[in-house]
Amino acid sequence: MHERQIFAGPRSRQLAQRAHIRPFAKRAALIAAMASSALPLTKAHAADGATFDLGDGITFNIGTGVRTSVSAVSAFAPSAGYAMGGNGESTIARYNLDDFRIYSTLTLNPYIKVTVDTERGPAGGEGGPIQILDAIGQFEPMKEFNIWVGQMLPPSDRSNLDGPFYLSEWYYPGIVSQYPGRFFGRDIGGTVWGKLFDEKIVYSAGIYAGHNWQYLTSDQNQDPLFAARLAINLWDPEPAPAYYTGSTYYGKADILTIGLVGMYQHDAVGTVVRKGDYAAGNVDVLMEKKFGDYGVLTLEGAFYYYGSDGVVDVSPSFNGAGTTAMVGGITQGPAYLLSGAYLIPYEIGPGKFQPYVRWQEMTATITNTSATQFDVGVNYVIKGPDLRITFDYAHNTASFTPSSDRWVLGLQVQL
């Protein structure tokens, strides 16, 4: 997960983690600098980064994405007292580097690519300030059938496949989107994906290392995680690459998509003394409709169910596991998400305003607790997801926890 939520939800460890300058990034920057002086620049577009021709049909693309914000959180917010120095008497201010990503792709020929993306590490700097986000070997012979191997986003819900830059709202809906992930929703494994029937059907399925892998005492032979997603585009195909998604396309197409997701892993929850199977799934729907001179309406909804076989999972730090170890924190129960946005058709300055609302709720059936969050805000859209300013207000309530409020002013840029 991203550090996508300030509030503590049913799965606080994943909310603190979860869709880039170590030695790799330094080398990538050096390659880009050398290439800019010695090689012809074939493309320099804001959304696509810069592409350099290395000869013999080999190209190298590099880009970046940054999200930064200033926020104020009521002192009674679950994270205020511990992580933010709250004393219960005042509002806590924070200045955040929410995301700093470096994207890079090496294309060896039309069918074989290697993608390496990086992201800032989780709070506390575990593993260094910059960590590997994606590291994927890609065999892409045709749009109907492709194979990816490495660390990547497994087939999952729309929010996870959006990532932070392609949501309608500023913060990730971590109360409801709780599929296990090592780092920003990623896992290690292999994915087969394709687009069929003029890209109206998008499928993805794969096998991954999965949850609690090698952290259950004396049990080093865990079963893998199986995941699959089927997306049915009833109107226009979504203008997103691979099996990725967006929660708004700012009127680029008329979208009505139904997504079906399933995940399963044997003995993935609990300990060797008391284990449980992990079985989860969701249905998500996105509708985005252009109304000509009347703007663009976006509606999104999702239903989730997470099953732990009735077993209470271990804590995220079980057996010394780190925050990116994909251990513990599984919560059993249903979750719901509803959101709406409206892109006002009139330009004010260089951009357009897109107000939005979102509601999310999850109930933990084993502990009989729940968490709810309501967001309302507005995007100032200058260049789609590549240049956008957002103001967001959120109200959060959770069992046995004082309610809390958050105000955020954020800027995101992609090059």
For residue 160, the model assigns a pLDDT of 98
Full 3-state SS string of the chain: CCCCCCCCCCCHHHHHHCCCCCHHHHHHHHHHHHHHHHCCEEEEECCCEEEEEEECCEEEEEEEEEEEEEEEECCCCCCCCCCCCCCCCCCEEEEEEEEEEEEEEEEEECCEEEEEEEEECCCCCCCCCEEEEEEEEEEEEECCEEEEEEEECCCCCHHHHHCHHHCCCCCCCCCCCCCCCCCCCCEEEEEEEEEECCCCEEEEEEEECCCCCCCECCECCCCCEEEEEEEEECCCCCCCCCCCCCCCCCCCCCEEEEEEEEEEEEEEEECCCCEEEEEEEEEEEEEEEECHHHCEEEEEEEEEEEECCCCCCCCCCHHHCCCCCCCCCCCCEEEEEEEEEEECCCCECCEEEEEEEEEEEEEECCCCEEEEEEEEEEEEECECECEEEEEEEEEEEECCEEEEEEEEEEEEEEC
For residue 32, the model assigns a pLDDT of 37
Q: Judge contact between 336 and 306, C-beta under 8 A.
A: no
Angle at 338 (CA atoms; ends 334, 341), nearest 5 degrees: 160
**Confidence bin at 214 (pLDDT 50/70/90):** low
C-alpha span between 359 and 339 (Å, rounded): 6
**Confidence bin at 76 (pLDDT 50/70/90):** low
For residue 13, the model assigns a pLDDT of 33
Share of the chain above pLDDT 70, in %: 81
Share of the chain above pLDDT 90, in %: 69
Average pLDDT in the chain: 84
Domain definitions of the chain by residue range? 12-414
Residue 323 has pLDDT above 60, yes or no: yes
C-alpha span between 291 and 280 (Å, rounded): 36
Residue 44 has pLDDT above 80, yes or no: no
Q: Which segment of 21-25, 114-118, 125-129, 348-352 scores lowest on mean pLDDT? A: 21-25
> Which residue in the block uniquely carries the two structure tokens 């789609």?
384
Q: Which segment of 8-22, 186-200, 336-350, 385-399 scores lowest on mean pLDDT? A: 8-22
The correct answer on CATH 2.40.160.10 for the domain covering 12-414 is: yes
Calculate mean pLDDT across residues 163-182: 95
Give residue-wise pLDDT tens across range 265-276.
999 998 878 889
For residue 346, the model assigns a pLDDT of 96
C-alpha span between 332 and 329 (Å, rounded): 10
Give residue-wise pLDDT tens across range 277-287.
999 999 999 99
Give residue-wise pLDDT tens across range 282-302.
999 999 999 999 999 999 999
pTM of the model: 0.85
For residue 216, the model assigns a pLDDT of 56
Tell me which of 121 and 281 has the higher pLDDT.
Answer: 281
Nearest to 307 by CA among 286, 324, 288, 332: 332
For residue 412, the model assigns a pLDDT of 98
For residue 316, the model assigns a pLDDT of 83
For residue 343, the model assigns a pLDDT of 98
